[in-house]
Amino acid sequence: MTKQLPNLKLTSDILPERVLVCGDPGRAKMIADLLDNPVQLAQNREYHTYSGSWNGKQVAVVSHGVGAPGAAVCFEELIMGGVQSIIRVGTAGSYQKEVTPGSLVVSTAAVSCDGLTKQIVPPGFPAVADRKVVEALSNAAGKNIPVKEGITLTLDAFYSGVLEFPHQLYKKAGVLAVDMENSALFVIAALKGVQAGAILAIDGYADAELRDEYNPHNDLVSNAVEAEMKIALDAITAL
């Protein structure tokens, strides 16, 4: 039976089972432009949806905006619409010196420091990427484009207030990078029984000392985003 997806302004019958998601509607359009026979399916708020084919398989691309709550609406409705595999094509701030701006990280799991997951699962529920998606992303990158696999962290706040961010704590724990949506994707996918993973282009350092130098609009980051888009497309069509 066809389902209405009210926030995406879509119906389930036009959605393929494989979807890439990203925060930026502009990036969604960039990914769509790589597809064969791309078409825009819908546009509502931050949710811009496209479809086309890659490696002979139908794929959709949907933007979800910034932050876990709005992104979770997107993830939930995609799954309601019959989507079986979701890969997030995102950006993140590095916690580790060797994870430099312009590099790529495949998230194997996320530390849930967001508010959204605390309202849908009990404390301690793991936010883990699907192992087949992690493997597909790493295989798609191959030897020519090095990617680092590891744990990332999801945080709601981008700019600090009077409370300190937990950056130094998780840096010591070996967490690679921080984003704003991965834990929501991994938890919702686990609850609904679908595959999910994420690849992230590092657009700067999250350390407070280096924060003033943050400028994601440069060739290093642009090249990393371009690389991760193609890796994600190859990975999701290989699942």
Q: What is the pLDDT of residues 144-184, one digit of tens each?
A: 788 999 999 999 999 889 998 999 999 999 999 999 999 99
pLDDT at 160: 86
Instruction: Give the pLDDT confidence score for residue 208 in this predicted structure.
Output: 54
- At 95 the pLDDT is 96
Give the pLDDT confidence of 21-68 residue by residue, as tens digits: 999 999 999 999 999 999 999 999 999 999 999 999 999 999 999 999
Active site residue 234: no
DSSP class of residue 214?
Answer: -
Catalytic residue among 13, 24, 203, 219: 203
Specify the residue for token string 């936010």: 127
Q: What pLDDT is recorded for position 182?
A: 98
Ordered DSSP codes for 117-168: GGGTS-TT--EE--HHHHHHHHHHHTTTS-EEEEEEEEES-SS--SSPPSHH
pLDDT tens digit string along 93-106? 999 999 999 999 99
Separation between Cα atoms, residue 183 and residue 208, nearest integer Å: 23
CATH class of residue range 4-238: alpha beta
pLDDT digits (tens, 9 = 90+) for 82-94: 999 999 999 999 9
Q: What is the pLDDT of residues 198-231, one digit of tens each?
A: 999 999 999 755 555 677 889 999 999 999 999 9
Per-residue model confidence (pLDDT) at position 209? 55
